[in-house]
């Protein structure tokens, strides 16, 4: 519904869906002044009035804006780590074509008029769901440190999963069992222990990152010199 190239609501979509445009708010970009803090709030906090400035409303956009890249002209990509991971690159304008669409890439607004060309990946959700199941089955706390230690002792490159397969994005599943079945169906060695399953997940994520970074270079025509990682934090 938003025209990413022109930075406005797309009239043709509103007309096709017979939607009144006045039910949608004005588009406010990061860095723009929204209004001033209300007098009531200023009085309660005993502060002088001050402007309310719009941030990059998506947490990833704000996280990427904070990456300390000294030379913005150098080619770099980012990996935003979380329950869902996002791999992307800052571009001057949206990249909209069949190749990008078929590869799962999309465009999001960034700060200072920058476009974020990104791909969303089922990320640490998979290992988080496994940990919940392991804790439930053992009736004891299993720390992340313990999981990482066990994964480091497991045999490398034993089995892999496609982390973006829809079966790994489900909420009400036995995730360790789902991973085991996936590997069995693909004719791979079966990861069974905590160390084997966690190593399978971590290595599969790493391979997905590598694949998407290569695809990012192909779609943008620019070699990535480095790929810093950033994180996102919500209120939970």
Catalytic residues: 59
SS3 of 54, please? coil
Residue 131 CB neighbour total at 10 angstroms: 21
Cα(115)–Cα(91) distance, integer angstroms: 5
Provide CB contacts within 8 A for 110, sequence distance 6+.
Answer: 30, 56, 61, 64, 65, 90, 116
Reduced DSSP (H G I as helix, E B as strand, rest coil) percent helix, strand, coil of the chain, to 5: 40, 15, 40
């Amino acid at each position: 519904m938003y025209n990413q190239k022109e930075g406005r609501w797309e009239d043709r979509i509103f007309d096709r869906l017979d939607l009144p445009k006045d039910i949608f708010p004005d588009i406010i970009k990061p860095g723009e002044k929204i209004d001033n803090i209300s007098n009531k709030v200023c009085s309660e906090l005993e502060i002088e009035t001050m402007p309310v400035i719009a941030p990059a409303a998506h947490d990833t956009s704000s996280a990427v804006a904070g990456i300390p890249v000294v030379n913005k002209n150098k080619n770099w990509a980012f990996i935003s780590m979380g329950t869902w991971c996002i791999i992307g690159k800052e571009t001057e304008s949206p990249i909209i074509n069949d190749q990008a669409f078929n590869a799962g890439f999309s465009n999001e607004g960034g700060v200072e008029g920058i476009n974020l060309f990104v791909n969303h990946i089922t990320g640490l959700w998979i290992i988080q769901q496994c940990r919940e199941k392991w804790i439930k089955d053992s009736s004891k706390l299993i720390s992340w440190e313990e999981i990482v230690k066990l994964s480091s002792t497991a045999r490398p490159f034993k089995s892999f999963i496609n982390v973006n397969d829809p079966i790994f994005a489900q909420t009400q599943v036995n995730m360790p069992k789902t991973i085991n079945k996936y590997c069995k169906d693909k004719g791979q060695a079966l990861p069974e222990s905590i160390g084997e399953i966690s190593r399978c997940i971590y290595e599969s994520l790493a391979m997905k990152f590598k694949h998407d970074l290569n695809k990012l270079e192909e779609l943008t025509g620019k070699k990535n010199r480095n790929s810093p990682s950033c994180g996102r934090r919500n209120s939970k």
